[in-house]
Each structure stands twice: as C-alpha cells, then as structure tokens.
Amino acid sequence: MKIIVGIKRVIDYTVKIRIKADASGVETNNVKMSINPFDEIAVEEAIRLKEKHPEAEVIVVSIGPTSVQETIRHALALGADRGIHVDTPAAPLPLTVAKVLKAVVDNETPHILLLGKQAIDDDCNQVAQMASALLNWPQATFVSHISLEGQTCRAIREVDGGLETLSFPLPAVISTDLRLNTPRYATLPNIMKSKQKPLQVLTLSDLGIEESPHFKVLKVSEPPARKAGAKITVEELVPYIKKVQAEG
C-alpha cells in the first residue's frame, strides 16, 4: 500500500500574526513556521496505517520555496519514508496545489491521498475536494476515523451536528479533521535518521503544470478590533444576558 500525504508550511498556530504595513499580506519573515496542524494529523494517520500494514510506504509532498524542505524533514522524522518537494517561489493557490497533487499521484499511483482539511493560513478548505475531482476519485472530507478492509475504506466524517459514515473503494482522497488522532512527537534518533531519507525536488514544469492567474489579492487588512470592555458584577451582567435572549 502506498499513501501520499500533502503538507503545507504555515505560520505556527501559537504565533500572533502581523499584517505588513503595505497591506500586501501577512509578515512571514522571522516568524516561527510549522507544519499545518491538520496536515500533521494526516501524517500521523498515514504512519499509523503503516504500523498496521508494514509493507506500506508513506510519501510526503510539499509545495513552495526551499524552506518547505524543513517541514518535509519534520514529517520524515515522524515516520514518513520519503519526501517530494515541488519547488515554487511561494505556496500556490489551492487549485494549482490540487493539479500538482494529481500529477504526483499519476506518477506514484498511491492508494490513498491523505490531506489536512484546511490550512490555517488561507483557511480555504479546498485542496482535497479539488484533487479528488481532478482524479475522479471518491472523497471523504473532515474525517475523524478511518478503517481499512482490503481495498475498501470506511470513514467517519464530522458534519454539522453529527457524524456521517461512508464506505468507498480505494484509491480515494481523504481529508483529516481534528479528532482523527493526536500526532506524536519526533524523537531525537528519528530526527537524525530523517536526514538520510530520500527527498526528491521537482518543478512545476517537470509535472507539466502551468500556474494560471485565477485571482488577485487586493489587500490584507486588520479585522475590526475589539475593545476591552468594562469589568462588572454578576448583578450588572444579568440584564445584558436577558437582552440578548429577548432578541432571539
């Protein structure tokens, strides 16, 4: 069995972001970067599947500048077998990411394409659905449980107000939600070992992909700021709560 996991390098979720003075985007220089948390859950799930199916191979793919190789090494230290870095000046739009993943999948023919449900920087929540459309594969998004039986997968999805169970044949695209697992930490020996694992570098033209302009970011601005309000007592608070309830 072969599993491809897509991973994105993003600003660490504990960092308070700063918007650039020229409103062109969010400052990423000298900011702590990490693997997107949902992608880390995808890596963890792939490694758990590998632990159950020792013949399985786990390949991680990341798209972006050379710095994403650090994120790939992190996934290799967690237990992935090899990495593919698709070299682009910046992280492309989800549609391009989906096209890249399709091209990699066409070359590697995995059984599962496992992705985080959304990146915590652009919050798009698109790549898995788009990749499965381009591949014409079944999709299972926002998944909190996976079980495999031969070439059939059963997945539980987190949907608004409940849990939906689906069954589908492999190959398939699966996107992870928060409850799927709790990722492990990389141990020092595994971090050392990860440095020896193979990491292939490809370009968009190697994969026959042209990036086309689909949209322009006109500006990035601060959201309306919330102001610290008054410190009050329980007696003072109750009328405000009653007011909100009355409006319902």
Partner 1 sequence: MRVLVIAEHNETTLRSATLNTIQAGLELAPQVTVFAAGQKIGPVVDVLSKIGGVERVLKAEAPELFHQLAEPVTQALETVASQFTHILAPATTFGKNLLPRLAAKMNVMQISDLTKIISADTFERPIYAGNAIETVQSLDPLKILTIRPTAFVPVQSTQQPAVNESLSLPPLSSPVQHISLESSSSERPELTSARVVVSGGRGLQTKENFRLIEELADCLKAAIGASRAAVDAGFVPNDYQVGQTGKVVAPQLYVAIGISGAIQHLAGIKDSKIIIAINKDPEAPIFQVADFGIVGDLFEIVPQLIKALKEQE
Give the nearer residue to partner 1 in terms of CB position, either 89 or 162: 162
Q: ω before 171 within 30° of 0 (cis)? A: yes
Positions in 23-82 near partner 1 (CB under 8 A): 26, 37-38
According to the binding rule CB under 8 A, does residue 139 interact with partner 1?
yes
Q: Are 103 and 208 in contact (CB under 8 A)?
A: yes
**What's the rounded Cα separation, in Å, for the pair 78 and 98?**
24
According to the binding rule CB under 8 A, does residue 234 interact with partner 1?
yes
Distance of closest approach, residue 108 Cβ to partner 1, in angstroms: 20
Q: Are 155 and 143 in contact (CB under 8 A)?
A: yes
Angstrom CA distances, 157 to 21, 144, 175, stand at: 40, 6, 9
According to the binding rule CB under 8 A, does residue 220 interact with partner 1?
yes
Give the nearer residue to partner 1 in terms of CB position, either 54 or 213: 213
Say whether 42 sits in a helix, a strand or coil: helix
**What's the rounded Cα separation, in Å, for the pair 95 and 82?**
24
What is the phi-psi region of residue 208: left when phi exceeds 0, alpha when psi lies from -120 to 50, beta otherwise?
left
- CA 85 remoteness from chain centre: 15
Considering only residues 140, 143, 146, 174, which one is a binding residue for partner 1 as defined by CB under 8 A? 140
According to the binding rule CB under 8 A, does residue 244 interact with partner 1?
yes
**What's the rounded Cα separation, in Å, for the pair 65 and 26?**
17
Considering only residues 93, 103, 105, 174, which one is a binding residue for partner 1 as defined by CB under 8 A? 93
**Total interface residues for partner 1 by CB under 8 A:** 81
Stretch that binds partner 1, among 68-76, 107-115, 151-159, 187-195 (CB under 8 A): 151-159
Give the nearer residue to partner 1 in terms of CB position, either 5 or 11: 11
According to the binding rule CB under 8 A, does residue 90 interact with partner 1?
no
Q: Are 163 and 154 in contact (CB under 8 A)?
A: no
What does DSSP assign to residue 183? P
Give the nearer residue to partner 1 in terms of CB position, either 66 or 136: 136
Residue located via tokens 């400052």: 27
Distance of closest approach, residue 196 Cβ to partner 1, in angstroms: 32
Give the nearer residue to partner 1 in terms of CB position, either 30 or 233: 233
Positions in 154-173 near partner 1 (CB under 8 A): 154, 157-169
Distance of closest approach, residue 49 Cβ to partner 1, in angstroms: 20
Positions in 112-131 near partner 1 (CB under 8 A): 120-131
